[in-house]
Structure 1
Amino acid sequence: MKRRTLLKHGGTATVVGLAGCTGGGNGGQETTTDETTTTEATATETTEETETTTETGLSGTLKVATYSSFVDAPSSSPGAWLKNEFEKRHPDVTVKYETPENELNYYIQRAAQGVDISTDVYVGLNVDHLIRIDEKLGDRSLFAPMADRLSHYGHVKDGLKFDPQQRAIPYDTGYISLVYDESGVEKPPETFRDLLKDRYAGDLIVQNAKTAATGRAFLLWTVNTVGEDRYLDYWTKLKNNGVKILGSWSDAYTAYENGEAPMVVSYSTDQVYANRQNKDLTKHQVGFLNDQGYANPEGMAKFADTDNPELAAAFMDFLLSKRAQKKIAQLNVQFPATDWAPLSEEFQKYAKTPKNPVTFTYEELQGNLDSWVDSWAREIAGGQ
């Protein structure tokens, strides 16, 4: 196991290269599927904000599954904007969202039981999900490879590609970091070792790695940095130094904003959110331990048994378009996954990027993820 996987800025991997091969991406208007050739939304993007042509060759209902926060706040979630814009491009198409309570697990369970899945696309995958899918389903395919069928795939940053089979296509990424209140932290910690010092006793809130993506990412960051043979010892010392473990990101962040501790594990885009809410930015400072942040890209995938492969390909390609990438970043408060989406002035000012982003590849996590998380839950989180 390599202890550290570093990602270059601009998205190229320096140590192992995140899984996935660059394909397509010549900026053309057509994408190819096994069944037929389909025309991507042929809207010509004359500026970042306007498009001049609609595509009338596709029709029907596209069912898109995702997590609820992707769609449940029209003013601050990308789902509503993506639906409206895609339907404008394709007047004969209706996008219908599904947000099951168990999110991806709902579809994994149905596939394991041999129940038909009528959904076309899933939005919101990460590498942990792929590991779980492959471990639970074996040779049964939940999603199908899509990279060579998307004309915009070549614009996806190489360092964010996390699926060796090219099923999951990244559409945004976040970097896990510390967020701290500088009035409560005289000198912010600069390294993981610093967090163990007495001066930070009881100062940090983290999320449960069993129940929260941010908590799991922070756990993986510690494994990546201190090593798989030492991470439990590190966490034992962190626990002895009063770290607070709460169930979800929302639980942890609410506790942080209520002043229960001056530091919380969150995202390096925190100041974007804080600025929009007119909050005091001194209470929303971003800290990168060891000059690192854990990259946590999100991907989308086409269900293998979809009856709408053309619609699925068109929708996924649309999410990689320059305009959609910029809008997703703004509304989802994450970074674009492509090299051609310009950051807004707001992001350039308030979103922070670590000097040395790190992550684990699919290959490194396969066969290790569950054991790392389960051991952590048993020895550190206890019954939490």
Structure 2
Amino acid sequence: MRRRTFVRGVGGGSMLAVAGCLEREDEDDEPEEAQPEDENTLRVVTYSSMVTGETPAGAVLAEAFEEELPDAEIEWIVPEAGIEHYAQRARLEAEMNADVYLGLTPAELVFLDEAVSADVFERLERERLERDGRIRADLSFGDPDDRALPIDSGYVGLVYDESVLEAPETFEDLLAEEYAGTVLAQDPRRSAPGRAFLLSTVAAYGNEFVDYWEGLRENDVDVYERWTDSYVDEYLEETRPMVVSYTTDRIAANAADRSMERHQIATPDGQGYENVEGVAVFADTGRRELAYEFVDFLLSSQIQTEIAIRNAQFPALERQYLDLGTEFTAFARQPEQPVRFTYDELHGNLTGWLEEWGEEFGEDVIDDRPEIDDTGTD
């Protein structure tokens, strides 16, 4: 009989805040986590929207994996601070207490490498994977140590209400009076879409990106800690008519029967930052065989379709392995000019960009919730 899957949360700080407390070991900062007793329990780290909501992809993944391997059970772990939680554990030389990381981005991997020297994830043993050759040729982490396998990708742009605004054609348009007080964004230190939007501005303005953000501030941009705060709590409540989000949001909006008028897509200067999500195996896992079975399982046609539709992301597989249906292709939008920094371009630069942004705009970030209950990877 298939056993119950469950979700566990663990604490932590922001991507940059954690780096400041890594030098000391404090039991209050790092509570010990219970080890699962069953060797067939696979502990999978992910972000909250993978496992929460009305129809999360994680629930389908767990059910399908446990049907394929009846003795297996998935325990989802949702760290409040995402990858920085494991950077902290590595610096403290603590056990990871996890087997697989699902939803890792290149920026998070670079952050980890800049924060610690320990091997948190292992080099992938690709000979264990039967479906490795299915992945799109254009998707890559660019990691010289080959620790992560792409499982999907998405493009970050702007979602807007066409009954209120016209689409901004350029980044400069967002500084115009027409768009004053209209934009919802996210803290790039805590949010993957927020980080992608920041990197878009770095790509567009180079070292002058701080000046551009100063213009956004003068035009009354609202910056929230996480995507959930800005999109679910604010945009869906119609507090403002534009939000930094994914260019595939119309897929989810259509499925949820939300206003499509309010889910139009804008890609300033024709650009959208490509956010690749991947899966990695923790180096100290004691369940390596089960971990690799799960990684290969993620590359099956059925699961790639489920992830694409339920997470509203582009799948990692070549088209011949997929049948996404007309609704996905009708509502998913790719920018004319995808933007993506390579691993080498991010390494040595990302932390500095985030620190520079935080020094100038960190105090502007809005967090009006009574307690933190979301993940830094939203």
- Which category describes the TM-score, using the shorter chain as reference length? 0.7 to 0.9
Q: Secondary structure at the match of 1:160?
A: coil
Contact 1:147 1:153 (8 Å CA) reproduced: no
Contact 1:124 1:298 (8 Å CA) reproduced: yes
What's the RMSD between the two structures over aligned residues? 1.8
Task: Give the Cα separation in 1 of the matches to 2:238 and 2:72.
Answer: 47
Q: Secondary structure at the match of 2:152?
A: strand
Q: 1:364 aligned to 2:367?
A: no
Contact 2:83 2:112 (8 Å CA) reproduced: no
Aligned with residue 271 of structure 1, among 219, 231, 250: 250
Report the Cα offset of residue 147 of structure 1.
5.8
AA aligned to 1:200 is: Y
Q: Secondary structure at the match of 2:154?
A: strand
Report the Cα offset of residue 374 of structure 1.
1.3
Q: 1:298 aligned to 2:282?
A: no
Contact 1:147 1:169 (8 Å CA) reproduced: no
Task: Give the Cα separation in 2 of the matches to 1:166 and 1:372.
Answer: 25
Q: Secondary structure at the match of 1:283?
A: coil
Aligned with residue 109 of structure 1, among 64, 88, 102: 88
Q: Secondary structure at the match of 2:280?
A: strand
Instruction: After superposition, give the CA deviation of every residue in 1:291-319 in whole Å (9 maximum; x if it has no partner).
Output: 11111111110111112221111110110
Paired position in structure 2 for 1:168: 148
Q: 1:131 to 1:324 in 2, by over 3 A?
A: same
Contact 2:40 2:72 (8 Å CA) reproduced: yes
AA aligned to 2:348 is: G
Task: Give the Cα separation in 2 of the matches to 1:329 and 1:341.
Answer: 10
AA aligned to 2:176 is: K
Q: 1:373 aligned to 2:321?
A: no
Question: Percent identity among equivalent residues?
Answer: 43
Report the Cα offset of residue 226 of structure 1.
2.0
1:277-292 alignment runs, 5 A limit: 277-292=256-271
Q: 1:240 to 1:315 in 2, by over 3 A?
A: same
Task: Give the Cα separation in 2 of the matches to 1:136 and 1:380.
Answer: 22
Instruction: After superposition, give the CA deviation of every residue in 1:10-57 in whole Å (9 maximum; x if it has no partner).
Output: xxxxxxxxxxxxxxxxxxxxxxxxxxxxxxxxxxxxxxxxxxxxxxxx
Structure 2 stretches lacking a partner, 5+ long: 1-38, 366-378
Q: Secondary structure at the match of 1:230?
A: helix
Aligned with residue 229 of structure 2, among 247, 251, 275: 251
Paired position in structure 2 for 1:354: 335
AA aligned to 1:144 is: E
Q: Secondary structure at the match of 1:122?
A: strand
1:1-384 alignment runs, 5 A limit: 60-73=40-53, 75-138=54-117, 140-146=118-124, 148-149=126-127, 150-162=129-141, 163-185=143-165, 187-227=166-206, 229-253=207-231, 254-339=233-318, 340-384=321-365
Report the Cα offset of residue 236 of structure 1.
1.5
AA aligned to 1:160 is: L
Extract structure 1 runs of 4+ deviating beyond 6 A: none
Q: Secondary structure at the match of 1:218?
A: helix
Q: Secondary structure at the match of 2:145?
A: coil
Aligned length: 322
Report the Cα offset of residue 242 of structure 1.
2.1
Task: Give the Cα separation in 2 of the matches to 1:347 and 1:175.
Answer: 15
AA aligned to 2:156 is: I
Q: Secondary structure at the match of 1:143?
A: coil
Report the Cα offset of residue 350 of structure 1.
1.3
Structure 1 stretches lacking a partner, 5+ long: 1-58
TM-score (norm 2): 0.81
AA aligned to 2:345 is: E
Task: Give the Cα separation in 2 of the matches to 1:381 and 1:243.
Answer: 13
AA aligned to 1:133 is: L
Q: 1:236 to 1:299 in 2, by over 3 A?
A: same
Q: 1:249 to 1:348 in 2, by over 3 A?
A: same
Contact 1:326 1:344 (8 Å CA) reproduced: no
Paired position in structure 1 for 2:369: none
Report the Cα offset of residue 103 of structure 1.
3.2
